[in-house]
Chains A and B, each alone.
Chain A
Amino acid sequence: GAVVSQHPSRVICKSGTSVKIECRSLDFQATTMFWYRQFPKKSLMLMATSNEGSKATYEQGVEKDKFLINHASLTLSTLTVTSAHPEDSSFYICSASETSGYYEQYFGPGTRLTVT
């Protein structure tokens, strides 16, 4: 149980375009979903926290207009990187929690974004 999927697993896009990444909880209802970014050989960095039906809470330094997060249902959250630039190239990982909080998070397999 507690499986989280992400789609796509890899995406290459051109600079200036937008790309959407989906995060789904397959066998449980995720009250809270989290989006992380990970650069090579670095720790996961929390970008934002989203609760179903409400606006996402962004971490300091993360542009909410650039990284649009939608958590429309208890099993799906999406991250849209708008007007992507090469420096947005990174590994994006989502996680999901059944409870409102950070206690037990189940991580997705990640999405590798490359902006050319």
Chain B
Amino acid sequence: KNQVEQSPQSLIILEGKNCTLQCNYTVSPFSNLRWYKQDTGRGPVSLTIMTFSENTKSNGRYTATLDADTKQSSLHITASQLSDSASYICVVSPYGGATNKLIFGTGTLLAVQP
């Protein structure tokens, strides 16, 4: 079972609209949770990184929230632009040990239409 689940799998919105992407994880304990944007045919680019003690982190029009109690995170995109069309990946970094591997979600594919 994937330890990081994202929803929806894909999403289409109109330019200018807001949207929220969800991430549920079972990784515990964890060190930090990240959101990445991956354009088609490109490597992931970091949007936000939150430690377990942080509740929210913003980066321009992107705002990530984290509820460590319910093990949920969300990424809110405000006033979407065509260039926001990409895959958004939630990544959890487990805490401790010599093998702190990044655990990737399967991503949400966002399409912003004019």
Contact = CB atoms under 8 A, between A and B. Distances in A.
Interface of A: 4, 6, 41-44, 46, 91, 93, 95, 101-103, 105-110, 112
A46 B44 CA distance: 14
A43 B107 contact: yes
Contacts of B46: 106
- List 9 tightest A-B contacts by C-beta distance, closest first: A107-B43, A43-B104, A102-B100, A110-B43, A109-B43, A107-B44, A93-B43, A44-B104, A108-B43
A107 B36 CA distance: 10
A102 B45 CA distance: 16
Q: Classify chain B: how many residues form its interface, as a range.
A: 20 to 34
B102 A91 contact: no
B4 to A, nearest CB: 8
Contact of A102 (B36, B102, B106): B102
A102 B43 CA distance: 17
Interface in B1-48: 2, 31-32, 36, 41-46
Interface of B is mostly: loop
29 contacts: A4-B43, A41-B106, A42-B106, A43-B89, A43-B104, A43-B105, A43-B106, A43-B107, A44-B44, A44-B104, A91-B41, A93-B43, A93-B44, A95-B43, A101-B100, A102-B93, A102-B100, A103-B32, A103-B93, A103-B100, A105-B102, A106-B46, A107-B36, A107-B43, A109-B42, A109-B43, A110-B41, A110-B42, A112-B41
A4 B46 CA distance: 13
A105 B34 CA distance: 11
Interface of B: 2, 31-32, 36, 41-46, 89, 93, 100-102, 104-107, 109
Instruction: Give the interface centre of B31, B42, B106, B109 by most chain A CB atoms within 10 Å.
Output: B42
B5 to A, nearest CB: 11
A74 to B, nearest CB: 20
A112 B43 CA distance: 11
Given A42-B106, A43-B107, A105-B102, 19 more contacts: A4-B43, A6-B43, A41-B106, A43-B2, A43-B89, A43-B105, A44-B104, A46-B102, A93-B43, A95-B43, A101-B100, A102-B93, A102-B102, A103-B31, A106-B46, A107-B45, A108-B43, A109-B42, A109-B43
